[in-house]
Chain A
Amino acid sequence: MRKSIILSVFLLISLCLLAACGDSSGKKSDGKVSQEVTYASTSDAAGLSPIDTNDSVSSNVTAQVYETLFIQDPKTMEVKPLLAESYETPDENTWEIKLREGIKFHDGSPFNAEAVKYTFDQMKDPKRAAPRASLLAPIDSIEVKDEYTVVLKTRKPYGPMLAALSHTNAAIVSPKADKEGDINKKPVGTGPFIFDEWVEGDHITLKKNKEYWGDPAKLEEVTFKVVPEMSTAISMLETNKVQFIDNLPSDQLSRIESLKNVKVYKGEGTRVSYLGFNVEKEPFNDPKFRQAVAYGINQGAYVNQLHGLGILNESIIGPKVFGYDEKAKNEGYPYDKDKAKKLLEENGYKGQKITLLAANRDNYMKMAEIVQAQLSDLGLNVEIESMEWGTFLETTRKGNYEMTFLGWANSTADGSELLYPNLHSDNIGASNYSRYNNPEFDKLVDESRESVDQDERAKILQIANVMVMKDAPWIVMEHGTVTAAYNESVKGLMVSPNGQWYLNNVSRE
């Protein structure tokens, strides 16, 4: 008995202690909100060097620390100079870029043409094995003309150059820091925030760059916290331990929207999710079969259960991507079950056995279930095979599948950068998972890449887009939205259609 008394006294005391200090408002003693923001993401950054990483969690951090030569306006998606001041194209293969003067990296070394050359050379060096090296692959050489002028030469004209240079992985790093240390651990850039600390697997802290060349950031400190479980992150947002989360899952949206002190941002995104055929296999090599499937799929059934976090549009180049044309919306195969059945019948297909491969992450399993039900309605015999992401990537890359779901982030928001890697025959065995091979289409995509006249590029992309839609190696399931939920004290947060955000204009009130 004595023990139980001791135990209950102990429990009572600890409860009192707990209750006594439960304050967590994040307010300073003078009543002002501290200029600090904590962002939660479900996984940790892979690294903090733009050269050595290629994932969105890493780029969330690097985008605050480093800067690119050009930047896409989050509203208009127009490309504007950032570290660059202006550029000229004396001929189709030459880009002469004038840089801003007087900018310093966080380690005090100067930002100049040498730094740009160094960064891009590293990016292209096979020994460095930059995961996003393909971004600068069209650039043949980088020359320093004078201290603040850099000249990029291409072998063939390269239309999406500015979009590529505004990609976060093309950010400029401090050559000194890269040579002397590991910028993947301790990043050094020119951006509005300076790296402070990284406890791997737990959090990354950035501090305000007081000597920033532009308008300095309003926030004093930013923390990137790893919270693997979305529902935990939402609880932290509710209790103001975290002020900002993004990539909201549709099944938790109603809970987030019901939180009192939390605002939700939803905007159209550049991401496209699609059902892809392996066009090297039967019967998927027959355009008639693919068209029948396209007629038989009602994307609306999928998009409707996303609670507004998905946009219905059958165009492969989406509304927020360069090369989109309003008319393309109606060039696909609208849902028509009878037409689909008729097409199958006319071409001698009956009860075909199809394996639908789905990675068990994102919304792919949901898509698979809905598509399975719809295709079964056409009399096809569809089986779902689900796979973990690592296995999935290897299997699909080798082409060991029939139909599957995938997405493309369109982070440069340029149609050429969607059509070339995914559907051009150059990339079969790599990022062209559908193994689509159409010489006429290839030619159009090449032209869209090799022209530097942006109006002409848009026209070519529009034609290529409709051509590939008609041929249907892909059936678009949805175009994505970008989302964020943040504490109402956070002001000035903007999320670009490609999901990227910058914190230099964010403050707390």
Chain B
Amino acid sequence: MLVLIVRRLFQLVLLLFGISFIVFMSMFIAPGDPAAIIAGPTASASDLEAIRASMGLDKPVLVQYLDYLAGVLHGDFGYSYQTGQSVSDAIISRFPNTFKLAVASMIVAMAIGIFAGIISAIKHNSWIDFSSTTIALLGVSIPNFWLGAMLILVFAVNLQILPVGGLSYSIFSLEGIKELVLPAITLGTASAALIARMSRSSMLEVIQSDYIRTAKAKGVKKRSIVWVHALRNAMIPVITIIGIDFGALLGGTVITEQVFAINGVGRLMIDAIAARDFPIIQGTVLLVAAIFVVVNLIIDIIYALIDPRISYD
């Protein structure tokens, strides 16, 4: 296991190195000049030159990349072209919001998804199964921004029991939890639907396997068969889905952050792309890549914990 972790972390470093190069180069190939965006359409040519020079954009691309790498090795990820804030500060100040949101929506997704999936697998082909799969299909298909806007209209504007947006209170206060409810539901719905469908098919497969039949024949209680024996085996593919989803959520969720005015990593990245704020783009892309690798590693470890047959040694 330890070997796996060390090997993966080593791969991560190589991966980040490669990604940083690709991202850096593609930003220079892509159209759009950060200086022009800072200066706006009113700027004169000399204003633009001065801004470019002040950001070091007048140097050759390769020199800029090497400068960047040298900074990164010293723990300096650069400074935002737009605001001058250090990239690590910009990310660190926003990541807690994204993390809170990701965890909350994953809880919503898992609670609804696994439960619905298992119920419809047990009551296979009944009206419960039918309605649960239909709702799951609906959940996958509903666009995020629409669901978010509707939830705001109903719960925040008409009923006024939840705030419209923002994420400014501590998670350990009632206000802090209230703020998370609508965004978590908005974001969790699609994942819940996916998890439900995956749990259902995986559970169906397991329930029809031989060892479950043996357990039934032995006279084990039905509840125990489902929740102990079957569930554990059915969870492997579901965990993969959860892991991938969670990784994606941690990388920031632009639309939900946008609709609920949440100051998270996704918005940071999108704003940076629109403003060609290269250091911030670079920093957030590296963060997302690192999160994916780490989350995948954690999933692999969980596999081994759930299923003793899986071993990495």
Binding site for B on A (CB under 8 A): 1, 3-4, 7, 17-19, 21-22, 24, 43-44, 46-47, 54-55, 126-134, 137, 182, 184-185, 199-203, 225-229, 231-233, 235-236, 238-239, 241, 388-391, 393-395, 397, 406, 408-409, 421, 427, 429-431, 433
Contact = CB atoms under 8 A, between A and B. Distances in A.
Nearest to B30: A391
B271 A43 contact: yes
Contact of B44 (A55, A202, A393, A430): A430
Nearest to A134: B44
Given A130-B47, A131-B39, A131-B40, 12 more contacts: A1-B223, A22-B160, A47-B84, A54-B39, A132-B43, A133-B46, A134-B44, A185-B85, A393-B37, A408-B42, A430-B45, A431-B44
Contacts of A394: 31-33, 36
A219 B164 CA distance: 24
Nearest to A55: B40
A40 to B, nearest CB: 8
B19 to A, nearest CB: 22
A231 B259 CA distance: 8
A185 B84 contact: yes
A344 to B, nearest CB: 31
Identify whether the interface residues of A are mostly helix, strand, loop, or mixed: loop
Q: How large is the interface on B (under 10, 10 to 19, 20 to 34, 35 or more residues)?
A: 35 or more
Contacts of A46: 38, 82-83
A37 to B, nearest CB: 16
A127 B48 CA distance: 12
Contacts of B37: 389-390, 393
A285 to B, nearest CB: 23
A189 to B, nearest CB: 18
A230 to B, nearest CB: 11
B32 A390 contact: yes
A228 B44 contact: no
B177 to A, nearest CB: 8
Interface centre among A128, A129, A226, A239 (most CB of B within 10 A): A129
Contacts of B156: 235, 239
Given A231-B149, A390-B31, A239 B157 contact: yes
Interface stretch (B50-58, B237-245, B288-296): B50-58
14 contacts: A19-B161, A21-B174, A24-B160, A54-B40, A55-B40, A130-B47, A132-B43, A201-B93, A225-B166, A228-B257, A232-B164, A235-B157, A239-B156, A430-B43
Interface centre among A4, A127, A233, A241 (most CB of B within 10 A): A241
Contacts of A126: 46, 50
